[in-house]
Structure 1
Amino acid sequence: MRFSAQKPEEGGSVTRRALLGGGLAFAVAGCNSSGVDFGAGGPGVSAPPPSGAPLVGETLGSGPVRVGMILPLTQNGAPSPIGVSMRNAAQLAVDDFGGPYITLMVQDDHSSSDGAAQAAQSELGAGAQLILGPVFANDVRAASAAAKSAGRPMIAFSTDASVAAPGVYLLSFLIETYVDRIVQYSVSSGKKSFAIMAPQNDYGNVATDRFQQTAAGVNAQIVVTARYSAGQMATAAQQVAAVQGQVDALFIPEQADAMQAVANALSSNSVKTQLLGTGVWNDARVLKIPQMQGAWFSAPDNSGFNAFAQRYKAKFNSEPARLATLSYDAATLAAALARNGGPDPYNERALTNVSGFSGADGVFRFRPDGTNERGLAVIEIDGGAAKVISPAPRSFVAG
């Protein structure tokens, strides 16, 4: 069976009997689960909230289970393309599957912590049994306080793992998951010693710490860790060049817009080794850089997003933001669990099912601490394109 992002930093069970439009399946990933089944028949959906609680925000769907969604629909008073795209993706999910099972209440947090807290409070007051969102880390912190007080779970979209907690689950693409996958693949491919060349910023800090921890766990050696300030890659590249005869690969957790400068610094210092990165390299700006050909990075398989994007464009006549699949999967999961989840469809056991779930970006599961695991592919940059060299797993090993 199968079933956060934060501001771009500068960062029961279900069987596989449901097929959504466009061929996107959303079901539990394991094979021996029991509980929720969103095929025909089975127990009914949860009881509606007490009468007299008015709905809030824009409502999508007409189901008896109320779910809140908090998105940055505006920022600095202007429409936010990311927020609007995520809202549209949620509508697509409700139209595909969720309409009879949930009523999704969508509110704008205005990209602010106060707005997120107010939205959470009003949605919980309107009977929301689950909150989806927000996107930015500080807004998740503010909204989660209200959710915890009400005893309701959240599925948020921040990439900052520090905001995760029991009952506050992150559906986003976490840096830690990217790092784990690329280390494991590299070691399995015979790489035993590594260098790290990382920016002095939050993303670089988290990625470097995780790479060091994961490498230690598989007895791999870190020969040098070279850090650099924005635009100051030359000295770090020199440090790597000095030891390149001792390393099998170089890990560079850098954003797409800075990778040309990194590549130039490496070339200037004649660094030639296997390059490793994270999913932020899955960007045309990186794929076309000559020095990056042959580099490896971990990322979701593109095929799921491409299928989603095709259907999104057909409905909204525009391209979706990359984060739109998060709100699509969150809304679909909320509807699937509501479909046959009994009076408490979003209990901890249901949300942390070890078999996980399969959404637009592949399999994922929530850990009890609120972080997630995702099934990621390893991709090689080849001829200016992304070529899968290690497919994403289609299911998790139970437990």
Structure 2
Amino acid sequence: MSGARLGRVLVLATAASLVLSACAGGTSSSGGGDASTIKIGFMGDLTGENSGIVIPPNNGAKLAIDEYNAKSPKVKIELKDYDSQGKPEQATSLIATAVGSDKIAALIGPAFSGESKAIGGVLEQSKIPSVSPSATNPGLAKNGWKYWHRVVANDDDQGPGIAEFLVKAKSPKKVFVLSDDQEYSVGLAEAFTKSFTAAGVAVETDKFAKDASDYSSTVAKVKSSNPDIVAFGGYYAQGGRLLKQLRDGGVTATFATGDGSLDAQLITGAGTAAAEGAVIGCPCAITTEGDQKDFATRYKAKFNVDPAIYASEGYDAATAYIKAIEAGNTTSEKINEFLKTADFKGITKQMKFKENGEPDSNAIFVYQVVGGKIKLLGPAAEAKLGS
């Protein structure tokens, strides 16, 4: 462990040194503030086990930038992907290249909380703004970072939103909260625990390793506890396996989880019968209707699939940078200054950032697996569970 930590520190130091010694601003072409092309990075799990919740925001960002470039602007944007596979150590290595040799002006992402925590310091030292479409760990906003932003509510909103909905819908007497050991998973599980406890519900907890495949010990604990609800903090790759083993082990309690599991692969991982009735919360509304109808049409025309989780948030994150560049801001620091005062109608909400980088809006939505498909039930305060 000590060697891994030392290696990570050296990489972080190298990345910061590379950027700070390079020409500030992250522009390509003529440099300074007079670039004809600006590089913006996108970092997240694009090929790993949880890529299903990162490919959609990556597509959303691509759509926004392609639409912008199609207008033949004076300053074009080049989107460069950095596939971290959701691994903090991989993100640490990639950011050295992104801010060092590639000289990105800004970053969309990282998509996950663990990788966001791992590279946030480098981005801050390098004065490179970042806007995550999906990282929800509350602690990210408590680092004092001035270049960090996200467009979704954090788990201190998501956890209570889901828990309060379930308390109202199910009147549970006992909840078993589970997670693996990833940054996001632990944060959401802690939010669940605090929220259910505050509501007077008895809570038991357990945690397992991210790469574990046999959850029999955890299943035995849950079965012995006989809870009314099992609340899982984690991603769908682990959630699907867990749910299958819980059902195979005779646990019939309502299964509830958060945005990291809002993907059809939760159902395929658990099996259709096991996943039926599962409740999933998210600081996102996935819809092809209303304000998102036009976006959904354009998205499907380009990618031949309906928008999925965080597709519209990826579009909004990219749009924040586009608006900065359209306003004549072509260096990293000027783009970051623009973000402080950004206030525009996005696909998902009115886009405005608080001083700590959090979004101004924090609505939570509830979904349920019904008939083998994930169905949007509506805002947590209004949603009703299916039978």
Residue 104 of structure 1 aligns with which residue?
77
The unaligned stretches of length 5 or more in structure 1 are: 1-52, 58-62, 395-399
| Per-residue deviation, 1:225 | 1.6
**Alignment match of 1:311 (pick from 295, 298, 307):** 298
Q: How does 1:21-32 map onto structure 2 within 5 Å?
A: none
Aligned twin of 2:251: 271
- Between the aligned partners of 1:321 and 1:302, the Cα distance in structure 2 is 6
Task: Provide the C-alpha distance between the structure 1 equivalents of 2:275 and 2:301, rounded to a whole number of angstroms.
Answer: 34
Q: CA deviation at 1:378?
A: 0.7
Matched, 1:256 2:246: no
1:90 correspondence with 2:90: no
Structure 2: runs of 5 or more not aligned: 1-24, 85-89, 383-387
TM-superposition CA deviations, 1:170-207 (whole Å, max 9, x none):
34685555423211212333635342242442144222
Q: C-alpha offsets along residues 61-88 of structure 1, whole Å, 9 cap, x if unaligned?
A: xx98986412359999xxx999987665
Please say if residues 298 and 378 of structure 1, whose CA atoms lie closer than 8 Å, have aligned partners that are also in contact. Answer: yes
Q: Does 1:302 align with 2:286?
A: yes
Instruction: Determine helix, strand or coil for the equivalent of 1:303.
Output: coil
Corresponding residue for residue 237 of structure 1: 219
Whole-Å separation in 2 of the counterparts to 1:232 and 1:341: 54
Partners of 2:151 and 2:109 lie apart in 1 by 9
Cα offset, 1:122, TM superposition: 6.4
Q: TM-score, normalised by structure 1?
A: 0.62
Distance 1:290 1:277, change over 3 A: same
Shift of 1:339: 5.1
Give the structure 2 partner of residue 286 of structure 1: 266
1:34-183, aligned counterparts within 5 Å? 55-56=27-28, 68-72=39-43, 89-96=60-67, 100=73, 103-107=76-80, 109=82, 111=84, 112=90, 113-120=92-99, 128=105, 130-135=106-111, 140=116, 144-145=120-121, 147-149=123-125, 151=127, 153-156=129-132, 159=135, 161=137, 162-164=139-141, 165=143, 166-167=145-146, 168-171=148-151, 176-183=156-163
Residue in 1 aligned with 2:87? Answer: none
Distance 2:135 2:44 in 1: 18
Aligned-partner Cα distance in 1 for 2:264–2:322: 34
**Residue 373 (structure 2) pairs with residue 385 (structure 1):** yes
Amino acid at match of 1:205: V
> Which string of whole-angstrom CA distances, capped at 9 and with x for unpartnered residues, describes residues 133-154 of structure 1?
4456676567655653465532
CA distance in structure 1 between the aligned counterparts of 2:328 and 2:165, rounded to whole angstroms: 37
Of the candidates 182, 187, 191, which is equivalent to residue 206 of structure 1? 187
**Identity over aligned pairs, percent:** 20
Q: How far apart in 2 are the matches of 1:316 and 1:170?
A: 24
Given candidates 171, 174, 182, the residue that maps to 1:191 is 171
In structure 2, the residue matched to 1:5 is none
- Letter of the 1:377 counterpart: F
Provide, for residues 150-175 of structure 1, a one-character-per-residue CA deviation record: whole Å limited to 9, x for no partner. Answer: 65532245737355543211346855
Distance (whole Å) between structure 2 residues aligned to residue 256 and residue 143 of structure 1: 24
RMSD value, Cα: 4.7
Q: Cα 1:208–1:137, aligned 2, differ >3 Å: closer, same or farther? A: closer
Give the whole-Å Cα distance in 1 for the aligned partners of 2:275 and 2:58: 35
Contact 2:134 2:150 survives alignment (8 Å): yes
Aligned position for 2:8: none
CA shift in 2, pair 1:185/1:71, >3 Å: same
Give the structure-2-normalised TM-score: 0.63
Contact 1:116 1:134 in 2 (8 A): no
- Name the CA distance, whole Å, in 2 between partners of 1:65 and 1:191: 59
Distance 2:114 2:261 in 1: 25
Residue by residue over 1:281-315, the C-alpha shift from the partner in whole angstroms, topping out at 9 and shown as x without a partner, is: 33334346213322211132221588656523423
Once the 2 structures are TM-superposed, how far is the Cα of residue 251 of structure 1 from its aligned partner?
A: 1.0
Higher helix share: 2
- Partners of 2:253 and 2:354 lie apart in 1 by 35
Q: Secondary structure at the match of 2:376?
A: strand
Question: What is the SS of the residue equivalent to 1:169?
Answer: strand
Is the aligned partner of 1:332 residue 2:316?
no
CA contact (8 A) 1:312 1:319 kept: yes
Task: Report Cα offsets for 1:180-237 as digits up to 9, x if no partner.
Answer: 3211212333635342242442144222222122334x43323322344523333333
Equivalent-residue separation in structure 2 for 1:289 and 1:322 (angstroms): 20
In 2, distance between residues paired with 1:252 and 1:94?
A: 35
Distance 2:64 2:256 in 1: 34
Counterpart of 2:18 in structure 1 is none
- Helix, strand or coil at the partner of 1:189: helix
